[in-house]
Amino acid sequence: MDRLKINGGNQLNGKIYISGAKNAALPLICATLLTDEPVTLTNMPVLSDIRSMNALLTQLGTSINSRDDLINGNPAKSCTYYTPKLESLVAPYDYVRKMRASYYVLGALLAREGYVELSLPGGCAIGVRPMDIHLSSLEQMGAQIEIKNGYVIAKAPQGLKGAHLVFGIASVGATCNVLMAATLAKGHTIIENAAREPEIGDLAEMLNAMGAKISGIGSSKLEIDGVDKLHSATHKIIADRIEAGSYAVAGAITRGRVELINADASTLQTPLNILRQTGVKIENTADSLIVDAKGCDLIGQDIMTDYYPGFPTDLQAQFLTLMLTAEGASMVTETIWENRFMHVPELMRMGANINVHGHASAIVRGVKKLYGAQVMATDLRASFALVLAGLVAEGQTIVNRIYHLDRGYEKLEEKLHAVGADIERIKDEEED
């Protein structure tokens, strides 16, 4: 397994290009299954999660044509997905186990073919992650669902029908799955307490470009009038707000100045407000976000994660790490996932002063110094937090198990190296 070697202490200065959003791309790829015509996605990030999703779609019968492209003069990928006929209606265990977002094929295949078998994803490092809202919503839309041998078997031989759904939790995944299913259902669907994350808006915009009739985009009440057929479209994936937020912290924690090209500040308002309150200067230009912490003495801030537009759970670990370099104490509260402080014990090994209370809250006290160490994390965002700590630590940090990072951060070490970080990937077989 590859590792990252980081020699801490360099200030980061310069431009970082923000890729297309992983968490938008994954449901968008599955939405291409709703039509027998080709759909092109541009600004596609190059990540192992995207490769896993592409492998699943190939297995279902999709042909994928991927090519190099330029977005605002920067290299990117465009992919055309074409599924004239489905060869399989099964999402097998080996695919879902690698990447739980495979469950986005549920809504799409059920809507198009009236049948799907999906290996039920289990829990993961950050939480139990049930699918009850996805399944009960599809049942309310007329699907018959049973769980057998670890698989969800969903049938709707007469097609799905519109329903008035009220979500108990504003789940991102359930909103995407139901949205896809409702586009081809007969009649009108209402989703109340829908998730409002920008990635859902992106999915709804593409579905409308394919001929769907979705209104209320960006709000917590989505209304969908089912149509008989969806068609071809070309869609540009939004910029990754979590990648942008992660690099904003990289600039701030090293007291540097980074310009995040292609970042969309409108999707990051709550985390940017926190950064401003710590003392970091933030500036927006037409196509970038400038984060300037040069000469700043940061002041610790309290953070509580919440559904969008609240503070994103996917930036909690990174901001918690930033607070270690700020003056005073910060209380960090996690409300979305029940086990998302796995980075804390590793940060403690680097000299952090953090007190976790139960599963939900942590008191983070600013420390004079962090010290390099061998560390590893059990999820994507926690792994980035360890990279951040390595960037400011005295001495050398080795981040192990970086396959987590490869799932969600395109060209991580190249992007950081280009702005001044002393960071290097050590291949599995190489000597340290």
Among 6, 10, 16, 23, binds ligand EPU (CB under 6 A): 23
Q: Among the candidate windows 55-63, 167-175, 232-240, 248-256, which touches ligand EPU by CB under 6 A?
A: 167-175
Does position 169 bind ligand EPU by CB under 6 A?
yes
SS (H, E, C) 186-238: ECEEEEECCCCCHHHHHHHHHHHHCCCEEECCCCCEEEEECCCCCCCEEEECC
Structure tokens at 384: 């980035």
Among 127, 216, 366, 420, binds ligand EPU (CB under 6 A): 127
Distance CA 326, CA 305 (A): 19
Comparing every residue's Cβ against ligand EPU, the nearest one is 173
Does position 179 bind ligand EPU by CB under 6 A?
no
Does position 77 bind ligand EPU by CB under 6 A?
no
Does position 313 bind ligand EPU by CB under 6 A?
yes
Active site residue 176: no
Percent of residues in the chain assigned helix, strand, coil, to nearest 5: 35, 30, 35
197-225: b (≥16 Cβ within 10 Å) or e: bbbbbbbbbbbbebbbebeebeebebbbe
326 or 402, CB closer to ligand EPU?
Answer: 402
129 or 425, CB closer to ligand EPU?
Answer: 129
CA 48 to chain CA centroid, nearest Å = 13
Among 240, 264, 314, 410, binds ligand EPU (CB under 6 A): 314
Which residues, in sequence order, are CB contacts of 51 under 8 Å at separation 6+?
none
Q: One-letter amino acid identity for 226?
A: G
Return the SS3 of 69. Answer: strand
Count CB neighbours of 341 within 10 A: 23
Q: Among the candidate windows 9-17, 128-136, 316-324, 370-378, which touches ligand EPU by CB under 6 A?
A: 128-136
Map the footprint of ligand EPU across residues 392-411, applying CB under 6 A: 408
Does position 337 bind ligand EPU by CB under 6 A?
yes
Q: Among the candidate windows 127-135, 219-227, 279-287, 392-400, which touches ligand EPU by CB under 6 A?
A: 127-135
Count CB neighbours of 161 within 10 A: 17
133 or 370, CB closer to ligand EPU?
Answer: 133
Does position 101 bind ligand EPU by CB under 6 A?
yes
Compute and round to an integer the Cα radius of gyration of the chain: 22
Among 130, 150, 187, 345, binds ligand EPU (CB under 6 A): 130
Does position 19 bind ligand EPU by CB under 6 A?
no
- Helices assigned H by DSSP within 266-411: 269-278, 316-323, 343-348, 380-392, 403-408
Tracing tokens 């670990």 back to the chain, one arrives at 317
Map the footprint of ligand EPU across residues 353-372, applying CB under 6 A: none
Min dist CB 81 to ligand EPU, Å, is 18
Active-site hit among 79, 124, 176, 296? 124
Among 133, 194, 222, 323, binds ligand EPU (CB under 6 A): 133
Map the footprint of ligand EPU across residues 190-249, applying CB under 6 A: 195
Distance CA 250, CA 319 (A): 10
Among 6, 26, 76, 290, binds ligand EPU (CB under 6 A): 26
Output phi, psi for 155, to 5 deg: -130, 140
User: What is the contact mask toward ligand EPU in residues 34 to 73, using x (rule: CB under 6 A)?
Assistant: ----------------------------------------
Residue whose C-alpha is closest to residue 127's, from 91, 93, 88, 169: 169
Instruction: Burial-class residue 53 by CB neighbours within 10 Å (0-12, 13-18, 19+).
Output: buried
Does position 134 bind ligand EPU by CB under 6 A?
yes
Among 3, 196, 241, 381, binds ligand EPU (CB under 6 A): 381
Among 10, 40, 62, 171, binds ligand EPU (CB under 6 A): 171
Residues that bind ligand EPU (CB under 6 A): 23, 26, 101, 127-134, 169, 171-174, 195, 313-314, 336-337, 380-381, 408
State the catalytic residues.
Answer: 124
